[in-house]
Amino acid sequence: MKLKFKTADSSRISISLLMQPSHSNFGGKIHGGYILSLMDEIAFACGSKHSETYCVTASVNTVDFLNPIDIGDLVTMKASVNYVGRTSMVVGIRVEAENIRTGETKHCNSSYFTMVAKDDDGKSVTVPGLILNDKKEVVRFLKAINRNENHRARKEEFNHVDFSLENYLNDLKNHRVKIDLPDNLDS
């Protein structure tokens, strides 16, 4: 079977939504959970468009809420496939909010969703390769490789059978934490 390739442009998705009072938290700002839900939906759409099949969210890498979103703001989310593996894709999402009265736009969030392509039986399937056709796309692909390697290393470190709490206790001395453990750390 010959591997298929698609451009990042062919799978890009953009949505814009007006933020309603029903989307707000007790502080009068748009609830972060609502924004995350929308981000998951656009990641699904973008990944499914690239893979031409159903996708599921495998992980979300770093969600930083940079600026609050107000009721009445027009929120625009832009998603693109930044990286592909064999059955997975990293979808980069940028969230911006525009005050429709003043035209002021602010960057509110960027995040990376790893999506896995599935067939009708729920089995992972191969996704098309990615054609990178500008420098920005190459940089996004390389950064995704770096994030994947860092994630793998952290996971390996903390899941290793020889992981020992004692090896990390000294690292906590410069943090605002008080360690009050029983004498027997094995319990």
Look at residue 20 in the predicted model and tell me its pLDDT: 97
Look at residue 152 in the predicted model and tell me its pLDDT: 85
Q: What is the pLDDT of residues 39-58, one digit of tens each?
A: 999 999 999 999 999 999 99
% of residues, the chain, pLDDT over 90: 75
d(CA 142, CA 144): 5
Q: Say if residues 106 and 73 touch (Cβ distance below 8 Å).
A: no
User: Does pLDDT of 183 surpass 80?
Assistant: no
Which of the four pLDDT bands, split at 50, 70 and 90, describes residue 185?
A: low
Which of the four pLDDT bands, split at 50, 70 and 90, describes residue 18?
A: very high
User: Does pLDDT of 120 surpass 60?
Assistant: yes
Mean pLDDT to the nearest integer, 75-100: 97
The residue to which tokens 């609050």 are assigned: 68
Q: Is the dihedral of CA 81, 84, 87, 88 positive or negative?
A: negative
Which one is predicted more confidently, 135 or 180? 135
Domains, the chain, ordered by start:
5-165 (3.10.129.10)
Beta strands at 5-7 and 54-61: parallel, antiparallel or unpaired: unpaired
Look at residue 102 in the predicted model and tell me its pLDDT: 97
Mean pLDDT, the chain, whole residue set: 92
Look at residue 55 in the predicted model and tell me its pLDDT: 97
Contacts of 93 (CB under 8 A, 6+ apart): 39, 42, 43, 77, 78, 79, 109, 110, 111, 112, 113
Contacts of 111 (CB under 8 A, 6+ apart): 39, 60, 61, 62, 63, 64, 92, 93, 95
User: Does pLDDT of 67 surpass 60?
Assistant: yes
Q: Say if residues 87 and 127 touch (Cβ distance below 8 Å).
A: yes
Mean pLDDT to the nearest integer, 6-28: 96
Which of the four pLDDT bands, split at 50, 70 and 90, describes residue 165?
A: confident
For the entire predicted model, the pTM comes to 0.85
